[in-house]
Structure 1
Amino acid sequence: MNKLTVVGVTAVAVSVVLAGCSSPAADSSSSAPSVAARAAAPEGLISSDAVTFCIDPEYPPLEYYENGTDGEIIGFDADAARAIAAYWGKDAAFEVTTFEGLQPGIQAGRCDIIPGGLYMSASRLEVLDGVQYMQTGPALIVRADDDKKYADDKDLCGLKISAQSGSSNAGIGEDIAAACGDGTSVDQYPKTADTVVAVVNGSADALIETDVAAADIVARSGGQLRLVSGFFQPDTQFGMFLAKGSAVSGPLGEALQALYDDGTLAEIAKTYNLDPANLVVG
């Protein structure tokens, strides 16, 4: 397989240049629905000018750069973040970091809210506050020319599994590998793009990824990948996270509920080909 084709497809799909912990820039422009200010901004925001969100923009359709590696940060989470900020009469500012930097970023006070692609896990809720907004679960991706029938975990025994480092999906892979025993491994990569490349170029046999991202990855793969339908069942929720005990936690829940009730979140979901029925706020 042509390596340049692999890299090119993946770059369009998910690869980005991350900006580390650069200063956040206010951003009021987007394709998000217009939201009128309906509540005072909560106490406890790190800036009086904007609501600051830690974000890893390499995870379509939730958060990604419009031009693949630069430009405006778009996606469901990014537009929802703008809607939340607008609800409070503020602009949204994005603090770009890696996936592994999201939780440290919020704990270090570099941002108010993490909107992006984190599960409402018991371990995470021990150290952060969270408000759920979407039901989700893992999904299995393999190469399109892999005609093996995948029905349950044992069908992954003896394979190399790819997953993003620090993610719940990596943990799922490690549990499967442990149950399978010798011959099954999990290769963890810092970026989603790397996990995809590993499967496309044959370094890994299968990728465990969150279902909302998996559908987008397969759609953008140029026919090189396929989604194994029904291998995993939706079993958890995505949440937006804050520092433990943050004064913003209650107002965030109220804002998300209001934006859910008035259809704003559903409109954003449709923009990114997500099913509004999977929105679960609470």
Structure 2
Amino acid sequence: MKRMIIATATAATLLGLSACSSGSSSDSPGGSEAAAAVKAQATAPEGLVKAGTLTVCIDPEYAPLEYYENGTSGEIIGFDADAARALAGYWGLEFATQVTTFEGLQPGLTSKRCDIIPGGLYMSEERTAVLDGVAYMQTGPALIVGTAVQTDPAAEKDLCGLTLVGQNASENLTEAKRIAADCEKAGTKTPVQQYPKTSDTVLAVMNGKAGALIETDVAAVDIVKKSSGKLRLINGFFPPSTKFGMFANKDAAITAPLGEALKALHADGTLGKIAENYGLSTDSLNVY
């Protein structure tokens, strides 16, 4: 038990990830200089959860998109968090976070505990059927393997027989289950594990409980970089196939202003500066 506690703490430190309690809210003026420099340029949207404030539902355990600056405390920073701060500045609003688990993001939005979800969510057909989304970044799944996998998988059939892992309620978990189902149709049992937090999925691979993790490409680079050589990224295994989006409730008053504001912040270079601040390529930004 003591060894597991130490391993968990180590993984959290390496990845800049943290446990977060559902329902907490905080005003958060920090973030990058680019986000802080944005001045009011447009009328604030109507129908906000709290007048004068942009409230976002966020799961701060997903570097470099959203995470606590001190690992488990401090300001919530990252590309998505700072982009949302920039939106608040653009509308002349205060900025507040409603912290939840990944699984709680969409319920938090639909129950009107927040105005938008700023990121880490694919623009999937299933999600856009029930929420309004504005795309802002090209992305897709990436494959991470542990040291127990000796050769680089080149095709999905090479994952057959491994234990795959993904985060609860994520499109990446759906992808892992699809691959496992294909493997089992071909006669090879391929277990799939799932955990509530990204840090749990990473720890499963680092500890050898799972052989491969499917993650988004943006997060995968950061995860592998901070794993002290215990994980490696299989470049090009999955092609970029979708986009990250910022989401609002269906037909919400904020939807059109959200799209206009993101386009403006992209055009004036604000989103590009925020991306560069977190080591992301500006080429991946795609706002429409």
For 1:247 and 1:4, the matched residues in 2 are separated by: 46
For 1:97-131, what per-residue CA distance to the aligned partner results, in whole angstroms no more than 9, with x for missing partners? Answer: 00000000000000000012000001111110000
Instruction: State the shift of 1:29 in Å.
Output: 2.0
The residue type paired with residue 133 of structure 2 is G
Q: Does 1:166 align with 2:169?
A: yes
Aligned to 1:204: 210
Q: Which amino acid aligns with 1:198?
A: A
Unaligned runs of 5+ in 1: none
Q: Which residue of 1 aligns with 2:145?
A: 142
1:277 is aligned, of 264, 274, 283, to 283
Match of 1:20 in 2: 22
Give the secondary structure class of the aligned counterpart of 1:216.
helix
Shift of 1:7: 2.8
Tell me which stretches of 4 or more aligned residues in structure 1 moved more than 3 Å: 2-6
Q: Does the Cα contact within 8 Å between 2:16 and 2:70 map onto a contact in 1? A: no
Give the counterpart of 1:217 among 218, 223, 233: 223
Match of 2:193, SS state, is: strand
- Cα separation, 1, equivalents of 2:238 and 2:89: 36
Specify the alignment match of 2:32 in structure 1.
31
Mapped to 1, the partners of 2:270 and 2:58 lie a distance apart of 21
Counterpart of 2:65, as a letter, is L
Deviations 1:41-74 (A, max 9, x none): 0111111121000000000000000111111100
What is residue 56 of structure 1 aligned with on the other side?
A: 59
Aligned to 2:114: 111
- Report the TM-score when normalising by structure 2: 0.94
Q: 1:26 to 1:49 in 2, by over 3 A?
A: farther
The equivalent residue for 2:247 is 241
The total of aligned residue pairs comes to: 280
The answer to whether the 8 Å contact 1:9/1:221 transfers is no
Task: Provide the rounded CA distance (Å) in 2 between the counterparts of 1:18 and 1:3.
Answer: 20
Give yes or no for the alignment of 1:189 onto 2:189: no
Instruction: State the alpha-carbon separation in 1 of the partners of residues 277 and 209 from structure 2.
Output: 34
1:15, CA displacement in angstroms? 2.9
- Whole-angstrom CA distance in 1 between matches of 2:237 and 2:132: 30
- C-alpha deviation, 1:144, in angstroms: 4.0
Aligned residues with identical type, % of pairs: 56
Question: In the superposition, relative to structure 1, how do residues 278 and 200 fare at CA in structure 2: closer, same or farther (>3 Å)?
Answer: same
d(CA) in 2 for partners of 1:32, 1:210: 26
* Alignment pair present for 1:79 and 2:82: yes
* Equivalent in 108, 119, 128 of residue 125 of structure 1: 128
- The Cα RMSD (Å) is 1.3
Q: 1:3 to 1:222 in 2, by over 3 A?
A: farther
Deviation string 1:21-41 (CA, Å, 9 cap, x unpaired) is 12x222222224110110010
Inter-partner Cα distance in structure 2 for 1:221 and 1:250:
40
